[in-house]
C-alpha cells in the first residue's frame, strides 16, 4: 500500500507539476543517498546514481501508475543503475568466507551498541550489504524487497539470515572499537 | 516476527545524511526542466498563424483570377 505522500507526489507528477518531484525528493533523497553511500562505499558514485534515479523519476513520473510505491521504485532504479555500473567497470567483490558464523558473543553484542556497524557493513559482499540496508536500515517490507531483488520471499529470508550472520562475523573479526582502529575493506566496488 | 533482532534494530538506528546541496540544486533544476512542458514563444504562434493566413489569402486571390 503506497504512502499518502506517494499518492500526492505521483498525482502531481502525472499532471507534470514539479511540486510532485519536490515532494518525492524531499522525502526520499536522504534515504536513497544514505543507501547508495553505504552500498557503493563511494561518494562520487552515490552522487551519480542519486542523480540518475531522480532524473529517471522526472522522465517517467508522468507515466507512473497512481498506486506505485515510489520508494521501492526509486530504490529499484538506483540499485539497477549500480549493478549496471559494477558490470561495466568489472568491479567484482571477493566472496566472504562462511566460517565462524556462530552466535554472537556478548562482546559483539556490546560493540553493536558502540557503532561499528557502518564499518562492518562496508566489509560485506554486495548481496549481503544490500539486503541488510533495504530491510534493516530502510525498513522496507519483505515482499517489497523480494520483488526489488527479484528473488522469492523464502530466498530473501535465507539471504537475510546469512547476511546478518556475516555482519556479526565481521564485527567479531574487526579490531576493537575502543582501539580507535579502522577495519580495512577487503574488497570495495 | 515479534522477537526484537538487535542487529536489525541497530541497523535501523543508522542515520542518513542529506545529499550535498549543490547536487540537490543540480538535480532539482534538471528535473524541473524535464517535467515542465516546453512553452512555445508567442512570436512563433503569431508567425505560424500569419503564414497560414497569407497562404489562404493568396490561394483565394489566385482561385478568383481563374474564373
CA dist A68 and A7 (Å) reads: 8
Interface contact flag, A136 B8, Cβ < 8 Å:
yes
Q: A110-161, pLDDT tens digit by residue?
A: 555 545 788 888 889 999 999 999 998 998 999 999 999 999 999 999 999 9
CA dist A49 and A79 (Å) reads: 8
Q: A81-114, pLDDT tens digit by residue?
A: 999 998 888 655 543 333 333 444 445 555 555 4
Confirm if B10 and A112 have CB atoms less than 8 A apart. Answer: yes
Contacts of B14 in chain A (CB under 8 A): 34, 38, 117-118, 137
Q: Give me the half-sphere count of Cα atoms (radius 13 Å) on the Cβ side of residue A38.
A: 27
As a residue count, chain A comes to 189
ipTM: 0.73
Confirm if A46 and B18 have CB atoms less than 8 A apart. Answer: no
Interface contact flag, A34 B15, Cβ < 8 Å:
yes
CA dist A131 and A176 (Å) reads: 25
Say yes or no to pLDDT of A57 above 80.
yes
Determine the distance in angstroms separating the CA of B9 from the nearest CA of chain A, rounded to an integer. 7
CA dist A133 and A140 (Å) reads: 9
Say yes or no to pLDDT of A42 above 60.
yes
Q: A23 and chain B: CB distance < 8 Å anywhere? A: no
For CA atoms A60, A65, A70, A73, the dihedral sign is negative
Nearest CA to B9 out of A112, A118, A21 is that of A112
What pLDDT score was predicted for residue B22? Answer: 95
Contacts of A30 in chain B (CB under 8 A): 16-19
What pLDDT score was predicted for residue A19? Answer: 94
Mean per-residue pLDDT of chain B: 88
Contacts of A61 in chain B (CB under 8 A): 35
Give, in degrees to the nearest 5, the angle at Cα B62 between B58 and B63. Answer: 120
Q: Is pTM, for the whole model, over 0.80? A: no
Measured in Å, how far apart are chain A's first and last C-alpha atoms?
Answer: 34
For CA atoms A18, A61, A58, A47, the dihedral sign is positive
CA distances, B12 to each of A70, A123, A155, B49 (Å)? 20, 18, 22, 61
CA distances, A114 to each of A100, A117, A121, A179, B14 (Å)? 22, 8, 14, 12, 12
Interface contact flag, A18 B35, Cβ < 8 Å:
yes
Interface contact flag, A16 B32, Cβ < 8 Å:
no
CA distances, A182 to each of A19, A94, A173 (Å)? 43, 20, 12
Amino acid at each position: 500500500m503506497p504512502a499518502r505522500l506517494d499518492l500526492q507526489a505521483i498525482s502531481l507528477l502525472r499532471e507534470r507539476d514539479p511540486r510532485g518531484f519536490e515532494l518525492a525528493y524531499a522525502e526520499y533523497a536522504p534515504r536513497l543517498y544514505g543507501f547508495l553511500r553505504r552500498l557503493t562505499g563511494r561518494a562520487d558514485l552515490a552522487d551519480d546514481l542519486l542523480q540518475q534515479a531522480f532524473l529517471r523519476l522526472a522522465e517517467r513520473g508522468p507515466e507512473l501508475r497512481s498506486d506505485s510505491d515510489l520508494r521501492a521504485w526509486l530504490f529499484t532504479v538506483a540499485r539497477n543503475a549500480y549493478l549496471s555500473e559494477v558490470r561495466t567497470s568489472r568491479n567484482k567483490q571477493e566472496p566472504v568466507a562462511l566460517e565462524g558464523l556462530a552466535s554472537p558473543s556478548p562482546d559483539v553484542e556490546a560493540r553493536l551498541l558502540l557503532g561499528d556497524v557502518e564499518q562492518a557493513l562496508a566489509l560485506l559482499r554486495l548481496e549481503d550489504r544490500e539486503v541488510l540496508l533495504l530491510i534493516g536500515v530502510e525498513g522496507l517490507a519483505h515482499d517489497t524487497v523480494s520483488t526489488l531483488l527479484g528473488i522469492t520471499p523464502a530466498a530473501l529470508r535465507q539471504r537475510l539470515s546469512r547476511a546478518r550472520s556475516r555482519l556479526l562475523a565481521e564485527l567479531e573479526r574487526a579490531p576493537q572499537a575502543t582501539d580507535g582502529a579502522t577495519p580495512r575493506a577487503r574488497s570495495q566496488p | 516476527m515479534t522477537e526484537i533482532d538487535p542487529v536489525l534494530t541497530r541497523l535501523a538506528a543508522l542515520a542518513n545524511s542529506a545529499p550535498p546541496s549543490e547536487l540537490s540544486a543540480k538535480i532539482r533544476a534538471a528535473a524541473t526542466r524535464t517535467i515542465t512542458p516546453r512553452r512555445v514563444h508567442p512570436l512563433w504562434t503569431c508567425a505560424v498563424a500569419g503564414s497560414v493566413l497569407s497562404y489562404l489569402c493568396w490561394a483565394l486571390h489566385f482561385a478568383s483570377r481563374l474564373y
